[in-house]
Amino acid sequence: MLRRIVSSPQFGLLLVIVLLGALLALLAGNHVDARTGASLNNFLNFYTLIQTATDASFFAIMAVGATIVIISGGIDLSVGSIYALAGVTTALVLRHTGDTGSGAFVLGLAVSISVGLVSGLMNGALVVGLGVHPFIITLGTMWILRGIAFVSSRAESILLPTSLTSVAKASLGLGNALYPVPMLIMAGVALAGSIFLMQTVRGRHVFAVGGNAEASRFSGVSIGRVKIAVFVISGLTAGLAAFLGASFYGSASCADATGYELYVIASAVVGGASLSGGKGSAVSALLGAVLIVLIRQSIRTLHFDQNYEWIIIGCAIILAVVLDQATRKIRN
């Protein structure tokens, strides 16, 4: 049992996260709680831990979908733009209908997910129909979708009804300023992604196509259908993340999720997904997102220049890819 845990792909990530968290707790210092008078660690406290998970949740949800695309041998650079378009469209529809009650939540969720699904379907159809590498297709749709969000919103930040924010920021009995909903949804998406990949036939097809597309074709797997499906899933997670993010912050704009492509791909790669396809995990993508947020937190805690964040994350991506290639060579 112990050997199985240690050899699991998530063990190394968890170990790094725990060690980095311990280092942060050691260096963060303490403060006095204004309400209780107790001395609390600046990092290792309930509020900071939930806030860290919340910061990771929005792009971690997208990382699960993007990881499924990467496992199939593709890549999706448009997730940030899908996020922006879904959020803006949701805000515009709700402003047009004027619905501020419980119906606004259902309508907003339906609109955001629909935009994500349609965008993902478009990406998949273009990749399969044109036979062009996903990098090129999604690079193009990344600009197209964000451009549509820019034009439709007129570069304005559009407010959402407070009924949505009250749900996204529900304390669930934990007290004021503690908002666990994004964290719980992130965990639920990672669990659903893991079940899909590991427990379903279609999930195994994704691994098969990413590992060896020709062998999968001869085995009767519909390559085109699998490729379209993974982009639809990626669009779905981006739409869900957009709804959650817009609801949490109370507004949506065309600039939302700018640069999230880096965080999403970094989460997947740092989580062990192979850019050559055939390898990856939804849970590892979540852990990769948490690790990236902890790296960002370390920069703030240690009072480093925050401009170094991009450099460090870029190095983490390169290191993860190099380690993946080295591992493959050792195994072969």
pLDDT of 209 reads: 95
Residue type, 34: A
pLDDT of 196 reads: 96
pLDDT of 6 reads: 60
- Phi, psi angle pair for 308, to nearest 5°: -75, -10
pLDDT of 191 reads: 96
The residues, ordered by sequence, that sit 6+ positions from 3 with a Cβ below 8 Å of its Cβ are none
Beta bridge partners of 30: 41
DSSP 269-329: HHTT--TTSS---HHHHHHHHHHHHHHHHHHHHTT--TTHHHHHHHHHHHHHHHHHHHHHH
The residues, ordered by sequence, that sit 6+ positions from 24 with a Cβ below 8 Å of its Cβ are 43, 44, 294, 297, 298, 301
Please report, for the chain, the start and end positions of each structural domain, with discontinuous segments joined by +: 55-257
Neighbours of 97 (CB within 10 A): 14
Distance between CA atoms of residues 269 and 285, nearest Å: 8
Taking CA atoms, 219 is separated from 112, 210, 223, 241, in Å, by 36, 14, 10, 35
Whether residue 26 contacts residue 301, with contact meaning beta carbons closer than 8 Å, is answered with: no
Taking CA atoms, 67 is separated from 21, 269, 312, in Å, by 25, 8, 21
| pLDDT tens digit at each of 332 positions of the chain | 556 666 666 777 788 888 888 888 888 778 777 677 777 888 888 888 888 888 899 999 999 999 999 999 999 999 999 999 999 999 999 998 887 777 899 999 999 999 999 999 999 999 999 999 999 999 999 999 999 999 999 989 999 999 899 999 988 877 777 889 999 999 999 999 999 999 999 999 999 999 998 889 888 899 999 999 999 999 999 999 999 999 999 999 999 999 888 889 989 988 888 888 998 999 999 998 998 888 888 887 777 777 777 787 778 777 776 766 666 566 55
